[in-house]
A = this chain, B = another copy of it.
């Protein structure tokens, strides 16, 4: 290994210098769980919760992976990131896995959520029973529309966006959901950040600029649609190519 090519220019990776760069994700501790694995753990957790309700007490990696729609080796590797809680020759205890995944995902602590922008989407989110049911109580709603302020939606009164700092502090909001029109999103984001919210879920189709310590995830339906569209197009292309090149003309 090493100097395979003759012109290695002493790549030293600039030890600890790097000015204001992007911080890919993890640097310090090597024992980090891959982001992709975290997303899957959340899925396993949902499947396992369902199984627990059906009084299933034990499950093998093969069965669980089928239910979660993944490869069984991947499932075992994912679970290995959080520890060794299986019994060889038997499988995993459902309850143990639920507890351990919840621990790793930080679900032992409740995370209060606020929704900003109580329009079509905001209403649906505020009324969604799936959040509180999974440890994410919606505890504050915000909008700028005077007709909405003070109105109860899903059992919670809508506050004015100007009150974000106070209300978020009082109700210990740790996750902010942005469901405003695109032009308002960055402004709302800035307010949330200065109110101390460190996690943001953004539905507005804009790229948010945030400081390094804030985690943003976005849900962009148009992008999802376009990815689907791409696959349709690619498939059509392949079919066309197959017709042209490979296929023997019948007759």
Contacts and interface: CB of A to CB of B under 8 A. Distances in A.
Given A28-B238, A38-B227, A227-B42, A130 B221 contact: yes
A217 B131 CA distance: 21
Interface in A220-242: 220-236, 238, 241
Interface stretch (A51-59, A118-126, A164-172): A118-126
B131 A228 contact: no
Copies of this chain present in the complex amount to 2
A105 interface: yes
A199 interface: yes
A46 B225 contact: no
Interface residues of A, number: 68
A64 to B, nearest CB: 11
Contacts of A39: 223, 227
Contact of A225 (B136, B225, B231, B235): B136
A133 to B, nearest CB: 8
A76 B109 CA distance: 42
Contacts of A227: 35, 38-39, 42, 217
A106 B233 CA distance: 5
Contact of A71 (B22, B68, B222): B22
A219 interface: yes
Interface of A: 22, 28-29, 32-33, 35, 38-39, 42-43, 45-47, 67-69, 71, 104-107, 109, 111, 113, 120-121, 123-125, 127-128, 130-131, 134-136, 174-175, 198-199, 201, 205, 207-209, 213, 215, 217, 219-236, 238, 241
